[in-house]
Amino acid sequence: MKINRLGSKEKNCRKLTNKALGLLEVAILLAGAMAMLCTGALAVLFTSTLAEENTTDYWLMKGYEQSKNGSNDMALLAYERAIQIDPDNSLAWINKANALYRLNRTPESENAYRMALNITDKMLEADSDNSTLWLGRGVLLNNIGKIKEAVEAFDRASNIDPGNEMAWKMKGVLLASDLKEYDKALAAFDRALQINPNDAVIWKLKGDALAASGRKSEADLAFLRAGELNNESSSNLQNQSAKNWYQTGQDMARVGSWEDAIDAYDQAVRLNPDYKEAWCAKCQALSNQNLLLSGNGRNVSFADAINACDRALAIDSNDSRSWSSKGFVLYHDAMVGGDPSKYNDSLQAYEKAIQIAGSDRAALALAWRGKGTVLCQMEKYEESLAAQEKAIELNGSDIEAWMGKAIALSRLSRNDEAVASFDRILEIYSNEEQRIFDYPYLWYSKGRALDKLGRSDEASHAYNKSIEDADTIIGWVATGRDFYMNLSETWKWKAELLEEMGRHNESLLALENERDPENLG
C-alpha cells in the first residue's frame, strides 16, 4: 500500500497499511480492478510470454518482471513505455506510481496516482455500479491522502457488492489508523471476517483496533488467532512454492533439459522434504541425464538417482509410481553399466508396482510398460510383447508402450505388425512438436521393418524422412531453439543414422560437421 503524504501521522499510517496489506497485494488488487477494462485479462499480463513488443501488455509484463527482481529503475522505464503506447491505461499509471514510490520519488508518484484516478473516474462514468472500480478508486484516493473520500469509495464498493472482502478490509484500515473510529473499524473487520474467517491479516488488524480501544483480552484472542493462521499460511505458501518448482521441473523434463529439471526438483524437495512426486521425478531426471552423459562417453553413477527413489518410497512404500520409478532407474543402471543381472532388480521393482497399483489404470499402464521394456532388453520378446499390449490396453495413447510393442514385434520378425505399430506412433505424435527428437529414430525403425518385408521403396522413403527430421533438428538447434541437444551432438546423431543405413560417405561428411558444428551444410 502506498500512501505518499508527509508528516508523522501520514508516515505512521503508511507504515501500518504497508504492513497490513503489502505492496504486491494492492498492485494485484488494482490490476484485477482495471486490467480487463484497460489492457485485456490479467492472466495474460502476468503469464504470457508471447505478447508483441509494441503492446502495453508486453511492457507491463516486462515492468512486472523487473520490479519482482528489484530493478525499479528498469521497471519504471517499462511502465513509461506502456503509457506511451496507451496513455489511458490506468494499470500502467498505477505501476509507474508504485515504481516511483519505491524509488522515493514521492511527488512524481502522487502525480501518477492522480492520473490513474482520473482514468478510473472516466471508467466509472460508463460503469457506475462496478464495485471493483470503486474499490480501486478508494485505494488511489487513499494514496493521495484523501482519506474520507477513500472511505466513501469503499462504502460504495461494499454497498454494490456486500461480499467484497477487500472493501471491508480497506475501510476498516482507514477508519482505525487515520480516523480513529474504532467501533466502525471493528464492524468493518467483522464483516470481512464473515466473508473470510481465515484471513490472518484481518485478525491482526482487528486485534490492533481492539487494543487501541482498550479491549485487551479481546485483542489477545484476535492476535492469537492471527498467529495460528499465519503458521498455517506459511506452511501452505511453502507447499505451494514447492508445487510451482515441481511444475517447472516437469516443464524442463518435457523438453529434455535434465539439469534444469533436477535443479527445480531439488528446490521442490527443499521446500517440502515429503514431496513424494518430486523425489520420483528427480530420480527419473537424474537417470535420464546419466543416460545422456554416458552416450557422450562420460562415466556416470546412478547412486543419487536410486537414493531419490528410495526417499520417495520411504515416504510411501505402497506407492506404485515410486516403484516404477525405481524400476526405471535400475533398468538404466543395468544398461549403462553392462551388468545383465541388474535387469532382474528392475523387473522386481516393476512387478511390485503392478502388485500394489490396484485399480489405478495409469499406474498399472506405467508399470506394465516398464516391465515390457526390461523384458525386451533381456531378449524375452514374447513376454515383452504381452506386457506392452497390456499397457496399451490400459492406455491406448501411451506412445512408449507402442514403441515397445513395435520393437518386440520387430525382434520376433513380425514386421507387418511392427510397421503398423510405427504408423500408430507417428499418428499419435503428429501434433507434438516437442517429440520431434524421436522422429528420426521412429522413421529409421520403420524403414528397417519395411526393408525386412522387401518393401524397398517404402523403406527408402522412411530412411529419407529420418534424415530430413534430423536436419530439422540441426537447424533448430543451430538457430537457438531451446532444446537439450547441442549442435555437435545433433550432427553426430545424424552421422550414426546414415552409417546404419549404409550411407557411409554421407556419414563421414556429417562427422566432419560434428567437428565444425556451425557448418549447416
- DSSP for 268-320 reads HHHH-TT-HHHHHHHHHHHHHHHHHHHHTT-----HHHHHHHHHHHHH-TT-H
Mean pLDDT of 434-462: 72
pLDDT of residue 466: 72
Q: Mean of the per-residue pLDDT values for the chain?
A: 80
Q: Where would I find the H helices in 39-164?
A: 42-47, 56-68, 72-85, 90-102, 106-126, 131-143, 147-160
pLDDT of residue 393: 94
Q: In the chain, what percentage of residues exceed pLDDT 90?
A: 44
Q: Is 341 helix (H, G, I), strand (E, B) or coil?
A: coil
Q: Give the C-alpha separation, 190 to 192, whole Å.
A: 5
CB contact at 8 A, 20 and 1: yes
Report the half-sphere exposure of 442 (CA within 13 A, side-chain side). Answer: 24
How would residue 93 be classed by pLDDT, with cut points 50, 70 and 90? very high
Identify the weakest region by mean pLDDT among 19-28, 181-190, 445-454, 483-492. Answer: 19-28
Q: Grid coordinates standing for 110?
A: 502522487
Q: Give the C-alpha separation, 485 to 373, whole Å.
A: 24
183-216: b or e for each residue (b if 16 or more CB lie within 10 Å)?
ebbbebbebbbebeeebbbbbbbbbbbbbebebe
Report the half-sphere exposure of 427 (CA within 13 A, side-chain side). Answer: 10
CA nearest to 289, candidates 262, 269, 326, 308: 262
The model's pLDDT over 238-250, given as tens digits with 9 standing for 90+, comes to: 887 888 889 888 8
How would residue 435 be classed by pLDDT, with cut points 50, 70 and 90? low
CB contact at 8 A, 142 and 3: yes
How would residue 496 be classed by pLDDT, with cut points 50, 70 and 90? confident
Q: Give the C-alpha separation, 499 to 483, whole Å.
A: 24
Mean pLDDT of 488-502: 68
- Report DSSP letters for 11-55, one per residue: HHHHHHHHHHH-HHHHHHHHHHHHHHHHTS-HHHHHH-S---TTS
Mean pLDDT of 319-335: 93
Residue 434 has pLDDT above 60, yes or no: no
Mean pLDDT of 109-135: 92
Q: Grid coordinates standing for 164?
A: 467484497
Mean pLDDT of 495-512: 76
Identify the weakest region by mean pLDDT among 32-36, 417-421, 507-511. Answer: 32-36
Q: Grid coordinates standing for 331?
A: 533398468
CB contact at 8 A, 258 and 484: yes
Identify the weakest region by mean pLDDT among 45-49, 58-62, 432-436. Answer: 45-49
Q: Is 432 helix (H, G, I), strand (E, B) or coil?
A: coil
CA nearest to 498, candidates 511, 514, 516, 517: 511
The model's pLDDT over 141-169, given as tens digits with 9 standing for 90+, comes to: 998 989 999 999 999 999 999 999 999 99
Q: Give the C-alpha separation, 86 to 233, whole Å.
A: 38
CB contact at 8 A, 219 and 211: yes
pLDDT of residue 6: 28
Mean pLDDT of 124-128: 92
How would residue 362 be classed by pLDDT, with cut points 50, 70 and 90? very high
Residue 289 has pLDDT above 70, yes or no: yes
Mean pLDDT of 353-367: 94
pLDDT of residue 41: 33
The model's pLDDT over 16-41, given as tens digits with 9 standing for 90+, comes to: 333 333 333 343 344 444 433 333 33
How would residue 518 be classed by pLDDT, with cut points 50, 70 and 90? very low
The structure's pTM equals: 0.52
pLDDT of residue 461: 79
